[in-house]
Amino acid sequence: MKSPLSLTLFFTFLFTTAFSQEQAYKFKQDIPYYDKATYESDPYIRERGVLDIYYPSDKKDFATVVLFHGGSLKRGNKKIPEALKEQGICVIAANYRFHPKVKAPSYIEDAAAAVAWTIKNIENYGGDSSLVFVSGYSAGGYLTSMVGLDKRFLEAHHIDANHIAGLIPFSGHTITHFTVRSEMGIDKLQPTVDEYAPLYYVRADAPPLLLITGDRELELLGRYEENAYMMRMMKGAGHPDTRLYELQGYGHSMKEPAYPLLLKEIARIVEAKTEASAK
């Protein structure tokens, strides 16, 4: 579905304003998300298996979004985006291990461990564990979809992936990630759908899914099209809440105009859950 630039700019103003509140926030860095034995067993996990948390300190039962950065599964670092600060929500930014020091599924396991830590611990910070969203950009978008759709990764932590309130990947692969393909000796131009592809796990009972990409003419090769295929297959499987936004005029670097849409999606789902619980 096309998303006109004017509409995107309108969302940028409207929804960041709607979320802004006069509140105090706290920020804590480098919290290990694996259990102590796992964390201490591997120096690389000690280096990369950590997250930062930014949360309202005078609000209860807030929503939380776990963010995974991009970088082709090879580079990058956690960061709390300015656009998501002081919006009445908690933001968790998590690191994960990189290729070539590790191979699939290690970085997916890291992402799942960070989400599991959040669900199990967010109430200690005042949040609502039923309102944990997962998002990420590029490689982080791929990790978002894998953790939310392939239930095995969160099951390792005794959590049902359907507990996630919503999945909001930014310009993520829905086929097998090109770095994972390279690990298997598959050319980056050879589309592959196997156990490391979110498309492999299309299912009707998944959490709400909002796919966001840049303009199909400006995006990375095939990125819009594979997300459009994911949308069609999810709808075909009977999933009731999959949507696709294409940000016209933006290429792969489309994070900033996507953040207001993420806030809008969180607000939509929180409102729906509030109304349902009030009935």
Question: 162: number of CA atoms within 13 Å, CB side?
Answer: 6
Q: What is the mean pLDDT of each run of 10 residues along the chain (279 residues)?
A: 47 45 89 97 98 97 98 98 98 98 98 98 98 98 98 98 98 98 96 98 98 98 98 98 98 98 98 89
158 domain-assigned:
yes
Q: Strands of 127-137's sheet, edge to edge?
A: 2-3, 242-247, 209-214, 166-170, 127-137, 62-68, 90-94, 50-56, 25-32
Q: Which domain holds residue 163?
A: 2-272
Question: 121: number of CA atoms within 13 Å, CB side?
Answer: 18
């005078």: which residue's tokens? Answer: 58
242 domain-assigned:
yes
pLDDT computed for residue 15 by the predictor: 45
105 domain-assigned:
yes
What does the alpha-carbon distance between residue 21 and residue 92 come to, in Å, rounded to a whole number?
19
279 domain-assigned:
no
pLDDT computed for residue 278 by the predictor: 85
277 domain-assigned:
no
| Two structure tokens written together for 99 | 């290729």
User: 127: which strand partners?
Assistant: 62
- SS3 for the chain is CEECHHHHHHHHHHHHHHHCCCCCEEEEEEEECCCHHHHHHCHHHHHHCEEEEEEECCCCCEEEEEEECCCCCCCCCCCCCHHHCCCCCEEEEECCCCCCCCCCCHHHHHHHHHHHHHHHHHHHHCEEEEEEEEEEECHHHHHHHHHHHCCHHHHCCCCCHHHCCEEEEECCCCCCCHHHHHHCCCCCCCCCCCCCCHHHHCCCCCCCEEEEEECCCCCCCCHHHHHHHHHHHHHHCCCCCEEEEEECCCCCCCHHHHHHHHHHHHHHHHHHHHHHHHC
pLDDT computed for residue 153 by the predictor: 98
CATH number for position 205: 3.40.50.1820
152 domain-assigned:
yes
118 domain-assigned:
yes
- How many separate domains does the chain show? 1
